[in-house]
Amino acid sequence: MANDSKTWRCGKYELSFDRPRIMGVLNVTPDSFGDGGEHFDPDAAIEYGLAMLDAGADIIDVGGESTRPGFTPVNPDEEARRVLSVVRALAKEGAIVSIDTRHVAVAKAAVRCGASIVNDVTGFTDPKMVEFVKTSTCGVIVMHAGEVVAPTRTHATVQLDTSAAAFVAEKAREAAAEAAREAEKPARRRRGKLLGEPKPEAKLPGGVVQPSLPFGEPEPTSEPASEQEAPAAEQAAAAETVAPAPAATEAASEPNDHLAAMMRRSARREEAYVPTSQLRRFTLPDSAPIMRRVMGFLSDQARALIHAGVSRDRICIDPGPGFGKTANEDIVIQRETAKMASLGYPLMCAVSRKRFVGAVSGVTEAAERDAATFGVCLGAIQAGANIVRVHDAAGFAQFLNGYWAVAKPQPRRAFVAVGSNLGHRCDNIRAARDMIAEIPLTCVSNSSKIYESEPAYETRQDAFANAVIEIKTELAPLVLLDELMKIEAELGRDRSKKAKANGPRTIDLDLLWMDGETHGGKKLRLPHPLIGERDFVLVPLEDLMHDPARFFRYNGVEVKEPEDRVGHIVGELGRM
């Protein structure tokens, strides 16, 4: 019930969650960890984005900067050059496009080009990004990207432990660990003196000096209490960001790129929250402090957006798997999906091909982790996740359709337009109706009368017989469309390239609308983009619903006045 009641407003689109939505990943980058370089060419990226839509993706998430562990920052101009033509082309085909960026200039340009969603991996911690989205109507995705990116704050209001004793014990453990670290410092200094002078200082790029430790051993990993106590690796990462090499022309211009520094540390498998030297009694760390950080940040940022003027139904949240988190922490977070879903915002599961998926499945190569990704996503969907962000949209669409058909009985209303102007026109329409009733998980619930209409678009042909059939179906829209195309073929419809567009046909089946579905692409557009100009569709629909023109206007379709339409109805041919 909670999942069904959530909606997500993204510009002119409204997504419902009576079924999970698929976000296809489209990286227009040379170095992304899962598919780097495959779609770097804009034409290849557009083709692949359309292919994902035709395979079942509901949203295309376009990114021009890789944020994999150890990534190289990209300046906004280069990022915009990579993505804007792709965003524009996909939006033109009716796609719901998300722009994956942390740069406000890129977000603004992408929304102007047709993007409906801004996916900010830094969680809208940039006031300029907040200022922009509050003046737009786009959907927003708030992602948690680790404590380095998140502003420091105390989340006293998010209390997951129901036991006060457990909370006190956790605080005591944290205090004891801090005391142990403080006590270790004098001993470490004494050991350094006994072992002799340290090695000469090493210079890092940018002129930053890194003191060498005895025997080259690294500092024990722990959370630094201040800037001065940060590990040398963090200083090195920061130095690389402050003073990039002259040859790196695409490096970001920010003087202190916290996200890049954090992901470099993540590449070296440093722990974000729990010291590696600390032994655990259990297979996973305690979930309470981890979820206080993640849920506290997501809640705070969502509330900040609402207070800034962003309506609540535009906000989606994402716990950010792999960003400043260990494999253990990612598993803890995924197991607490139900708690995050209870916050009331649409919840994204963006685990595709991540390192922790490889850790639990034993698959080393990122591109080979899709099956394991589907398993993690299924667990998240069962716990309340609404959107899954995946690289293999086609494979996951098949996976989800199979699972959903068996696990979630869910008949939905749809309308199919039927037309014929070759052979026995009314018999062709009745035969199509009977065959539609035989489609698996589908029934015919109502039919309009059969009308005669003028030919539309290609006027030098015989008049058409037209009707609209109301059905109930549990199939996904693209699966239903394939079944309708099979019926056309059986009844002799010629859809080959040699056939004249909008010419004579024995049967024509158009999926007009399906409850809760918005879709773009070359293969299927929902709602059908030409409903509003076709008299031979709108008049039969009046037999099935009250005021179809008003209904479709409400659903974002431009409906023309009767005198401005094509294919006008000229008479009735009888009942179905």
- Domains of the chain, residue spans: 2-10+20-155+287-407, 164-267, 412-574
Give the residue-averaged pLDDT of 510-523. Answer: 95
Give the residue-averaged pLDDT of 82-103. Answer: 96
**DSSP per-residue codes, 321-387:** TTSS--HHHHHHHHHTHHHHHTTSS-BEE--TT-HHHHHHHT--SGGG-HHHHHHHHHHHHHTT--E
Query: Residue 186: its pLDDT value, please?
Result: 54
Q: Which two tokens stand for residue 117?
A: 């969603």
At residue 436, the 3 state secondary structure works out as helix
Q: Which two tokens stand for residue 528?
A: 């059908």
412-574: CATH topology: Alpha-Beta Plaits (3.30.70)
> Judging by beta carbons within 10 Å of its beta carbon (0-12, 13-18, 19+), is residue 28 exposed, middle or buried?
buried
Query: Residue 180: its pLDDT value, please?
Result: 66
Count of other CB atoms within 10 angstroms of residue 280: 10
At residue 87, the 3 state secondary structure works out as helix
2-10+20-155+287-407: CATH topology: TIM Barrel (3.20.20)
As separate numbers, helices (DSSP H) first and strands (DSSP E) second, the chain gives: 18, 18
Query: Residue 35: its pLDDT value, please?
Result: 52
- Give the DSSP letter of residue 71: P
Q: Which two tokens stand for residue 539?
A: 């008049």
* d(C-alpha 501, C-alpha 513), whole Å: 22
Residue 424 has pLDDT above 90, yes or no: yes
Quick one: what percent of the chain has pLDDT higher than 70?
Answer: 73
Using 50, 70 and 90 to split pLDDT, how confident is the model at 87? very high
Query: Residue 242: its pLDDT value, please?
Result: 35
Residue 329 has pLDDT above 80, yes or no: yes
Instruction: Tell me the H-state helices in 118-255.
Output: 127-134, 164-194, 232-242
Residue that the structure tokens 């037209």 belong to? 466
* d(C-alpha 140, C-alpha 375), whole Å: 26
* Range scoring the smallest mean pLDDT among 107-121, 148-162, 455-469: 148-162
Q: Could you give the dihedral angle defined by the CA atoms of residues 557, 561, 567 and 573, in that order, rounded to the nearest 10 degrees?
A: 100
* d(C-alpha 137, C-alpha 518), whole Å: 17
Query: Residue 233: its pLDDT value, please?
Result: 37
At residue 258, the 3 state secondary structure works out as helix
Q: Which two tokens stand for residue 535?
A: 């008299």
Query: Residue 37: its pLDDT value, please?
Result: 57
At residue 61, the 3 state secondary structure works out as strand
Looking at every residue in the chain, the average pLDDT score rounds to 83
Given a contact cutoff of 8 angstroms between Cβ atoms, the answer to whether 418 and 429 are in contact is: yes
pLDDT digits (tens, 9 = 90+) for 253-307: 444 566 666 556 555 554 444 444 456 678 899 999 999 999 999 999 999 999 9
How many residues belong to the chain?
Answer: 576
Query: Residue 6: its pLDDT value, please?
Result: 86
Query: Residue 175: its pLDDT value, please?
Result: 72
| Cross-strand bridge partners of residue 139 | 117
* d(C-alpha 106, C-alpha 73), whole Å: 14
Phi, psi of 108 (to 5 degrees): -60, -50
Q: Measuring CA to CA, how many Å separate 127 from each of 104, 124, 147?
A: 10, 7, 18
Residue that the structure tokens 């993204």 belong to? 10
Q: At what angle do helices 287-308 and 127-134 cross, to 10 degrees?
A: 50
